[in-house]
């Protein structure tokens, strides 16, 4: 597996560790909550870095994967797994590569995480930080948010008081050979105002596409989202307030940030926040009914160990996608809005 | 206002009427539910059509607009309207064009509807149809769906039994000078299997971006979306069933279509369906607090008549965006997956 | 006719005059050398400018054209004109729109010139200037270059000593009902170093594409081009020399600039120069043989007045295309190479 | 080194051999004419193929390279080589990676050749073939064309009668430690009519960009190119003739094909042909003057063995780029022009 990151500015400090750290968050086998296949997922930067800094050339990062798939997947050779992509891929391409690890496999997210790690490193240098956590699991929404708790628990929850109960829920579902889904909340801390384009490439539109392109994601809402649609205008509208300070960009603020830090497709300067619906893991041990490649109805039991919940492992992927969208828009802004200034200085 | 539609195949029958019909659905002043400004919105095709057929050249469509804005908007010259894009635009561009009708105005959707009308005409020739309706208004979700009722009521609801109650709700909110939002459901009837790309350009990702790029849209969910994230895998998984018929593309089907007609980013051949959250109209008559361009806190009353709910007028815009995404993917498929066949025949 | 210029930075001073001036250079009827149809070509900016400055919104410019084509072109309705695009268009689109002014008409260059005028205005603010002139006409190459002479003669030559002879040549060919071609040289004065991408989007590659996309252009060479391919390496190589000055970007220079100001796809900081081959006007009064839409061989006489040479009118089009490529790369540079600096300052 | 080929249709037969064959044509050490470094250049397909056919997934091809560069290039660490990209890269990126093999190295063309090999395989299945040969070497143009001779001589000439003289010329220049350039002619046999877009993406414009993006290429001309610009219209115009046959696409032909098989940016159905100027190898053994990274003027001798002429090795690269452009336009045509037919059949 590998990823090629093109268009990265030169002279940015970058090392293997920042990529490996993000990979480790995505990796299976971190706890009993996630699959226990042994995937090494050790990355290596093979181009684009010289003496610790980006050169402007594409950055290629490789990950070696010692796992053998062929055996595990042999019994699924002729069967379409429910709620998996097998059948629609077959309909599209007219060919079936039954070995695991294809483009609908969770393993393709390794590339996303590696690209996102570089993007997050760039964002850090602009003092922008991305945080994701499990806002809901198996239908229960957690109200408290303590960001310091996120990396201390295997479910990546931010609500310590609910953790024990949620963990028990996951464990019992796992024991049944079943799975759970949940809702992820992503927060972008300290984004600049002015990111996003006003018509088709609104910032929330690009964020929605990026998140919806991750497997198992079924919904996206910016700010209060669906619940905002149930309110009256007088309740939903978020009044502007004046924040002391001489700079216009920071003086005009919104009072409650219900729109998630974006208005009219363009960031306001408030923290950006949105939520993403993740369906329960499709691979379950419980017996299921399905159809094989001959179109015959058959019974199916998927062997092996499965994540009872993939929410904790999807979070670093969604953080990565968010970072990639942000860097893209930061670069567009550097190019377009501030073009007249930046060029005079730098060319 | 105008739109230029590039890349349309040649020799497709197209006339002004199909575009005008869609425009009329979007137009204000259709009923007491929508703004009563008189906008003519009469379209004219100025290029790309010769003797009733597309020539392959870009299709340019113009709409004359007799409305004068300058007077209406003069009193808003120095004030940022809450939950509007004024402030974030100012932060981005450093310039303020206070006249209405800018790119964050609802009027930019005219272009989307005209482009979408052409796309829908192409889809019709592939026997694909797009239908949208109000699934929820002001927090109330309507359960019944009678598609034949949609164009018979000003709220574009599909549930006749709830219509009177919903209309009363909208009227009473209008009398208060307030507004409502709602949820739109879009259904794509008879889509081919195999549309969509497996990684970044998943079909649901492109649909999400297209819908989230429409003003006032705050959320998107494909199929059962957010509610799917609250279920167990064994409940959420949608088993494949075998449908009699000799063609594989139609034989393998899903039983309940909870995933909205897309698996792994690629259409399954089932009807595609998704929902979109629309916030309440931001322009309300009730007094609000805000900030002016000097950063001073001021009171604001927005004069004039406002839509108490924009859901009915957003529906044709969302249908248009959906049609554009579909045609785009149909063309990609014609290009890539079926390239080996189509070229041998047609070149 | 119109053009929409998207992505222009905000707050750039721009007025109608700079666009009209470029249009006037392209306009027919400037002298006996160019067609005498009366085309008004008066432009109007209809969006994107507010109080004399760009707003960041797309800039739409329209040109009214009072000329009627239908009559003039009626007799060409069923005939393919030699070396014109009629037949290949028909083969591609399967439809024939015989009215003049289509996308292969010289009139489409109006849009290019208008877009290029805005680009040249931006370049002026970076102290970059683009100059084009006729380096050869009808097979004769002119050696002297006096840039101040270019706008003083209808052939846009830079060699005053050869002008009278070239004019006589053109006049005599015109009297025969025939036409001439020539070679245009374009010079970019004071470009920054570092423009261009190292692999596929080399600066000379983008310039070549931009120029070759103009009708009647048949060749492109950067710097000494084809003649460089006939030299030995020791003659062709251009040694680096050291120019006094504290800044590295200006200190290292090339001695003879035979490579045209670009090495490895990236501008060196030297003036950029290249040459473009323009074929003789295809519309001539002399009788020709051709085929009609039924595939029958027929004799053809194209009535009306034709440019005996289009080189002088192609020059502003090539300048426009050059300017558009440069602004594109300046923006990419503002985005990518200087991203780390510009954002810190401007966001 | 590797290449990832995305967007390749599924179910196309493809194997390692067709890629390796093209690589072998580009490889150094084929004769005394080309560098004798030992580069293995053995390719391996690591994804996108299953049981001998493309799956629709990206095709990744890797090439192992056993050569060590670090030692060879150490002495060039601080020196800018004349007519190389070193200085302009340094000016752009502000960083210097002096190891060979960067993006301005000839080795980056390996990726182009591998991608082009896949494209050529697709073209073969449409009965389209691409042939390239040395039309001129060191200033001498060869008139005869015998395509069967091309792969029988190390200079890839098509004129057997001139071969011995040209070889002697190259050998003597090599003995001096100097180098030669030349002109490559590319012919596309049996292209379909209708490829190319009418305005900016004219087929010749895309071919020009593709060729000019290859290192050492300094010029491009379609058909008679620069020499066409020296003719009168009555000589240059190419009359249409009628070719017996019932199909319009093949019935209307041009008599002499001086425009190189493209009119108005769109292929006519005649063979496409164009020429490309290649400068002499910049790396020569003869002493040269240059500047080092401190801006000091120094003498330079580049050690090691150099190609006395790179024309024979550039030919497969130009063939590859040509194939990639053609497949791109074939796919666009499958998508756009023939969309109405192909979809009805294939979706």
Tens of pLDDT along C93-102? 877 766 544 6
* C334 chain-A contacts, CB cut-off 8 A: 334-335, 338-339, 342-343, 346
Nearest to B55 among C53, C55, C93 (CB): C93
A198 and B89: CB-CB below 8 Å? Answer: yes
How confident is the model over C276-299, as pLDDT tens digits? 999 999 999 999 999 988 888 999
Residues from chain B contacting residue D330 (CB–CB below 8 Å) = 339, 343, 347
Closest chain D residue to C244 measured between Cα atoms?
Answer: D295
Q: Which helix (H) or strand (E) holds B320?
A: helix B311-335
Q: DSSP letter for C142, please.
A: P
Q: Which residue from A9, A198, A338 is facing C336, i.e. has the nearest CB? A: A9
Question: What is the structure's pLDDT at B65?
Answer: 65
Task: Give the chains touching C; criterion: ≥3 Cβ pairs < 8 Å.
Answer: A, B, D
CA dihedral sign, ordered C288, C291, C296, C297: positive
Task: Tell me which of B141 and D88 has the higher pLDDT.
Answer: B141
- Nearest CB to C82; choose among D87, D88, D240: D240
pLDDT reported for residue C344: 33
Closest by CA position to D320, among listed D103, D114, D58:
D114
Pairing of strands D297-300, D288-291: antiparallel
- The answer to whether D55 contacts chain A (CB < 8 Å) is yes
pLDDT level of residue B98 (50, 70, 90 thresholds): low
One-letter-per-residue 3-state SS of chain D:
CEEEECCCCCCCECCHHHHHHHHHHHCCCCCCCCCCCCCCCEEEEEECEECCEECCCCEEEEEECCCCCHHHHHHHCCECCCCCCHHHHHHHHCCCCCCCCCCCCHHHHHHHHHHHHHHHHHHHCCCCEEEEEEEEECCEECCCCCHHHHHHCCCCECCHHHHHHHHHHHHHHHHCCCCECEEEEEEEECCCCCCCCCCCCCHHHHHHHHHHCCCCEEEEEECCHHHHCCCEHHHHCCCEEECCCCCHHHHEEECCCCCCCEECCEECCCCEEEEEEECCCCCCCCCEEEEECCCCEEEECCCCCCCCECHHHHHHHHHHHHHHHHHHHHHHHHHCCCHHHHHHHHC
Check CB contact under 8 Å for A104 and B198: yes
Residue B209 contacts A where some CB pair is shorter than 8 Å: yes
Return the pLDDT at D340. Answer: 36
CB contact under 8 Å between B331 and D339, yes or no, is yes
Q: Is the ipTM of this structure higher than 0.95?
A: no
Give me the residues of C, 121-180, that contact D with CB < 8 A: 136, 138-139, 173, 178-180
Would you state the pLDDT for residue C120?
94
> Which 294-313 residues of chain C touch chain A by CB within 8 A?
none
**Cβ contact C241–D297 (<8 Å):** yes
Range with the lowest mean pLDDT among B32-41, B65-74, C77-86? B65-74
Substitution target in D8, D48, D335 with the highest count of B β-carbons within 10 Å is: D335
pLDDT at C31: 65
The minimal CB distance from A93 to the residues B180, B259, B337 is found for B337
- Structural contact between residues D33 and D312, judged by C-beta atoms closer than 8 angstroms: yes
Of residues D32 and D114, more confidently modeled: D114
Q: Does C57 touch chain B (CB under 8 A)?
A: yes
Residue owning tokens 């998984």: B237
CA distance B338 to chain A (A): 9
Of residues C201, C223, C280, nearest to D218 (C-beta): C223
Is the pLDDT reported for residue D346 higher than 70?
no
Q: What is the mean pLDDT of residues B136-159?
A: 97
> pLDDT tens digit string along B229-265?
999 999 999 999 998 776 777 788 999 999 999 999 9
Q: Which chains touch B (3 or more CB pairs under 8 A)?
A: A, C, D
Cβ neighbours around B172 below 10 Å, total: 12
**Going residue by residue through chain A (347 aa), what tens digit of pLDDT does each one get?**
778 888 888 888 888 898 999 988 887 666 666 655 555 678 888 888 888 888 888 888 888 765 544 445 667 778 899 999 888 888 888 777 665 446 767 788 988 999 999 999 999 988 999 999 999 999 999 999 999 999 999 999 999 999 999 999 999 999 999 999 999 999 999 999 999 998 999 999 999 999 999 999 999 999 999 999 999 999 999 999 998 776 777 788 999 999 999 999 999 999 999 999 999 999 999 999 999 888 889 999 888 778 999 999 999 999 999 999 999 999 888 765 444 333 333 33
Chain C interface includes D91 (CB < 8 A) = yes
Q: What is the pLDDT of residue A1?
A: 74
Q: Does D338 contact B346 at a Cβ distance shorter than 8 Å?
A: yes
Residue C347 has pLDDT above 50, yes or no: no
Q: Which helix (H) or strand (E) holds C43?
A: strand C42-47
Please tell me which of the candidates B11, B95, B103 has its beta carbon nearest to residue C50.
B95
Q: How far is CA A297 from the centre of its chain?
A: 35
- The partner residue sitting opposite D94, judged by closest CB among A11, A93, A94, is A11
In this predicted structure, what is the pLDDT of residue D168?
97
Evaluate if residue C32 carries a pLDDT over 80. Answer: no
Q: What is the pLDDT of residue D98?
A: 60
CB contact B103 to C (< 8 Å): yes
pLDDT of residue A79: 87
Residue A337, pLDDT score: 47
Residue of A nearest to C268 (CA): A347
Could A347 and C10 be called an inter-chain contact, meaning their C-beta atoms sit closer than 8 Å? Answer: no
Report the candidate in C238, C205, C234, C239 with the shortest Cα–Cα distance to residue C222.
C205
| Percentage of the residues of chain D whose pLDDT score is greater than 90 | 54
Are the Cβ atoms of D337 and C201 closer than 8 angstroms?
no
| Tens of pLDDT, residues B173-213 | 999 999 999 999 999 999 999 999 889 999 999 999 999 99
Q: What are phi and psi of D129, to 5 degrees?
A: -130, 145
- Which of the residues D138, D212, D257 would you substitute to probe the C interface, choosing the one with the greatest number of C C-beta atoms within 10 Å? D212
Which pLDDT value is given to residue D99? 57
Residue B37 has pLDDT above 60, yes or no: no
Crossing angle of helices A311-335 and A109-125, in 10° steps, is 50
Q: Which of chain A's residues have a Cβ under 8 Å away from the Cβ of B296?
A: 242
- Ranked by mean pLDDT, the top range of A44-53, A326-335, C188-197, C220-229 is C220-229
Give the per-residue pLDDT at B343: 32
Q: What is the mean pLDDT of residues D266-293?
A: 94
Tens digits of residue pLDDT in C120-142 = 999 998 899 999 999 999 999 99
Residue B329 has pLDDT above 80, yes or no: yes
State the pLDDT confidence band at D200, using cuts at 50, 70 and 90: very high
Closest chain B C-alpha to C289 CA, distance in angstroms: 27
pLDDT of residue A108: 85
CB contact under 8 A, A53 and D103: no
Residues 6+ apart with CB under 8 A from C246: none
Q: Are C106 and C314 spatial neighbours (Cβ–Cβ below 8 Å)? A: no
d(CA C256, CA B163): 80
pLDDT of residue B55: 85
Indicate whether B162 pLDDT > 80. yes
Q: State residue B90's pLDDT score.
A: 84
What's the gap in Å between the CA of C343 and the closest CA on chain A?
6
pLDDT at B345: 33
Task: State the pLDDT confidence band at D102, using cuts at 50, 70 and 90.
Answer: low
Neighbours of B245 (CB within 10 A): 12
Arithmetic mean of pLDDT over chain C: 87
The overall average pLDDT reported for chain D is 87
**CB-CB: which of D12, D198, D337 is closest to B9?**
D337
D54 → chain B, closest CA residue: B337
Between A220, A268, A280, which is nearest B232 by CB?
A: A280
Beta carbons of C343 and A336 less than 8 Å apart? no
Query: Does the structure show a pLDDT above 60 at B94?
Result: yes
Residue B185 and residue B132 in contact, taking contact as beta carbons nearer than 8 Å: yes
| Per-residue pLDDT at B327 | 93
Q: How far apart are CA D224 and CA B58, in angstroms?
A: 31
Instruction: Tell me whether B198 touches chain D (CB under 8 Å).
Output: yes
Angstrom distance (rounded) from CA B342 to CA B335? 8
**Residues constituting chain B:** 347
Q: Is the predicted pLDDT of residue B334 greater than 70, yes or no?
A: yes
**Looking at residue A336, what is its pLDDT?**
55
| A192, A194, A335 ranked by CB distance to C332: nearest | A335
Q: What pLDDT does residue D337 have?
A: 47
Is the distance from CB of A203 to CB of B217 less than 8 angstroms? no
Say whether pLDDT at D69 is over 50. Answer: no
Exposure of B201 by Cβ count < 10 A (0-12 exposed, 13-18 middle, 19+ buried)?
middle
Q: Are D59 and D8 in contact (CB under 8 A)?
A: yes
Residues of chain C with Cβ-Cβ distance to B97 below 8 Å are 50, 55, 57
What's the whole-number mean pLDDT along residues B215-224? 97
* C171 vs A189: CA distance, rounded Å: 71
d(CA B2, CA B43): 9
Lowest-pLDDT range of C38-42, C220-224, D57-61, D289-293: C38-42
Q: Which helix (H) or strand (E) holds A45?
A: strand A42-47
Q: What is the mean pLDDT of residues C148-159?
A: 96
Q: Which chains, if any, share at least 3 CB pairs under 8 A with chain D? A: A, B, C
Shortest Cα distance, chain D CAs vs residue A232, angstroms: 44
Per the rule left: phi > 0, alpha: psi between -120 and 50, beta: everything else, B21 is alpha
């Amino acid at each position: 597996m590998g990823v090629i990151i093109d268009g990265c500015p030169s002279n940015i400090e970058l090392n293997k560790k920042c990529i490996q750290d993000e990979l480790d968050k995505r990796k299976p086998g971190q706890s009993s909550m996630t699959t226990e296949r042994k995937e090494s997922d050790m990355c290596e930067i093979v181009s684009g870095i010289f003496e610790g800094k980006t050169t402007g050339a594409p950055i290629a990062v490789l990950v070696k994967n010692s796992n053998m798939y062929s055996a595990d997947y042999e019994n699924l050779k002729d069967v379409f797994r429910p709620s998996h992509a097998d059948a629609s891929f077959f309909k599209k391409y007219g060919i079936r590569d039954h070995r695991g690890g294809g483009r609908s496999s969770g393993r393709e997210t390794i590339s996303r995480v590696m690209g996102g790690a570089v993007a997050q490193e760039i964002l850090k240098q602009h003092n922008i930080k991305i945080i994701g956590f499990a806002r809901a699991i198996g239908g229960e929404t957690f109200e408290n948010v303590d960001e310091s708790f996120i990396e201390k628990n295997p479910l990546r929850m931010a609500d310590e008081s609910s953790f024990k109960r949620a963990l028990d829920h996951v464990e019992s579902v796992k024991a049944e050979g079943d799975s759970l889904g949940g809702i992820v909340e992503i927060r972008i801390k300290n984004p600049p105002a002015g990111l996003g384009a006003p018509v088709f490439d609104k910032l929330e539109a690009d964020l929605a596409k990026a998140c919806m392109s991750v497997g198992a994601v079924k919904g996206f809402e910016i700010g209060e989202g669906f619940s905002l649609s149930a309110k009256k205008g007088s309740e939903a509208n978020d009044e502007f307030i004046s924040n002391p300070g001489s700079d216009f960009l920071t003086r005009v603020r919104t009072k409650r940030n219900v729109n998630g830090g974006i208005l009219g497709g363009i960031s306001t300067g408030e923290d950006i926040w949105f939520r993403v619906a993740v369906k329960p893991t499709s691979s379950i041990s419980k017996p299921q009914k399905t159809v094989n490649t001959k179109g015959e109805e058959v019974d199916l039991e998927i062997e092996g160990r499965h994540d009872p919940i993939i929410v904790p492992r999807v979070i670093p992927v969604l953080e990565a996608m968010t970072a990639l969208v942000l860097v893209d828009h930061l670069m567009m802004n550097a190019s377009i809005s501030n073009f007249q200034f930046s060029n005079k200085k730098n060319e």
